[in-house]
């Protein structure tokens, strides 16, 4: 039987489930298994759910727990610059084609080389599909900071992946379009 706490938790969690799992997949690459990170985070979040006073802060609460788990695992495992040195393979459970899997691995490896804030912003925006406003809440940073992180992150990522350099206007344009969608 579901408790009131479970129902309340699921009401907040269910809408962001897909985005959250995608975030975990990208963030956990080379550190621990995605499923472990998802489970660990949810169990922690659920166990301390009463402490979350403002339901608005749920996103920030959930993603901070996931980031902390990653940070602690890296610390414990003494992995500092790890992912590009090892060849981690995405599990077969994802039913991806070989080509897609290798492309995603390339992306995850490249993301691992970015500074944490930029990497997180990019994953949240490009892979999980959160808005800049939501990312600024998750990262507890200003909207302009998030935009800068996205811009610089994309530039660095293009360099690492060997894609033609993105013009900064492109990102700003995208951000403006998204801002209009979300706030106007």
**From the centroid of its chain, how far is CA 49?**
21
Does residue 142 contact residue 136 with C-beta atoms inside 8 Å?
yes
Nearest CA to 143 out of 126, 127, 121 is that of: 121
Report if residue 98 touches another protein, rule: CB under 8 A.
no
Residue nearer to another protein on the CB measure, 85 or 116 = 116
The reply to whether 22 sits near another protein by the rule CB under 8 A is yes
- Min. distance of Cβ 34 from another protein in angstroms? 5
The count of chain residues that interact with another protein, using the rule CB under 8 A, is 56
Smallest gap from Cβ 53 to another protein, in A, equals 21
Among 2, 4, 51, 53, binds another protein (CB under 8 A): 2
* Residue 109 touches another protein, criterion: CB under 8 A: no
Q: Is residue 145 involved in binding another protein (CB under 8 A)?
A: yes
| By CB under 8 A, residue 177 contacts another protein | no
SS3 track for 95-141: CCCHHHHHHHHHHHHHHHCCCHHHHHHHHHHHHCCCCHHHHHHHCCC
Position 157 contacts another protein (CB under 8 A)? yes
**Per CB under 8 A, does 115 bind another protein?**
yes
- The 8-class DSSP code of residue 15 comes to G
Q: How far apart are CA 34 and CA 137, in angstroms?
A: 23
CA angle 39/44/46 to nearest 5° reads: 95
* By CB under 8 A, residue 104 contacts another protein: yes
Give every CB contact of residue 58 below 8 A, 6+ residues apart in sequence: 12, 13, 52
| Span interacting with another protein, options 52-60, 61-69, 125-133, 176-184, rule CB under 8 A | 125-133
Q: Does 124 sit near another protein (CB under 8 A)?
A: no
Instruction: Judge whether 157 and 114 are in contact, CB under 8 Å.
Output: yes
Backbone CA torsion sign across 156, 162, 167, 172: negative
- Residue 31 found at the interface with another protein (CB under 8 A): no
Per CB under 8 A, the segment of 57-65, 89-97, 130-138, 176-184 that binds another protein is: 89-97
* Rounded least distance, CB 56 to another protein, Å: 21
């Amino acid at each position: 039987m579901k408790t009131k706490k479970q129902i309340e938790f699921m009401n907040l969690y269910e809408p962001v489930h897909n985005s959250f799992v995608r975030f975990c997949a990208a963030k956990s690459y080379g550190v621990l298994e995605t499923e472990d990170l998802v489970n660990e985070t949810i169990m922690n979040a659920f166990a301390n759910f009463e402490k979350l006073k403002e339901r608005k802060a749920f996103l920030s609460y959930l993603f901070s727990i996931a980031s902390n788990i990653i940070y602690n695992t890296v610390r414990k495992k003494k992995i500092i610059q790890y992912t590009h040195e090892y060849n981690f393979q995405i599990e077969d459970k994802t039913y991806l084609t070989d080509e897609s899997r290798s492309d995603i691995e390339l992306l995850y490896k490249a993301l691992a080389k970015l500074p944490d804030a930029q990497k997180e912003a990019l994953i949240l925006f490009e892979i999980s599909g959160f808005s800049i406003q939501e990312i600024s809440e998750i990262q507890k940073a200003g909207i302009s900071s998030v935009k800068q992180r996205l811009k610089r992150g994309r530039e660095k990522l293009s360099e690492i992946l060997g894609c033609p350099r993105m013009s900064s206007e492109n990102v700003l344009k995208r951000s403006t379009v998204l801002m209009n969608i979300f706030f106007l």
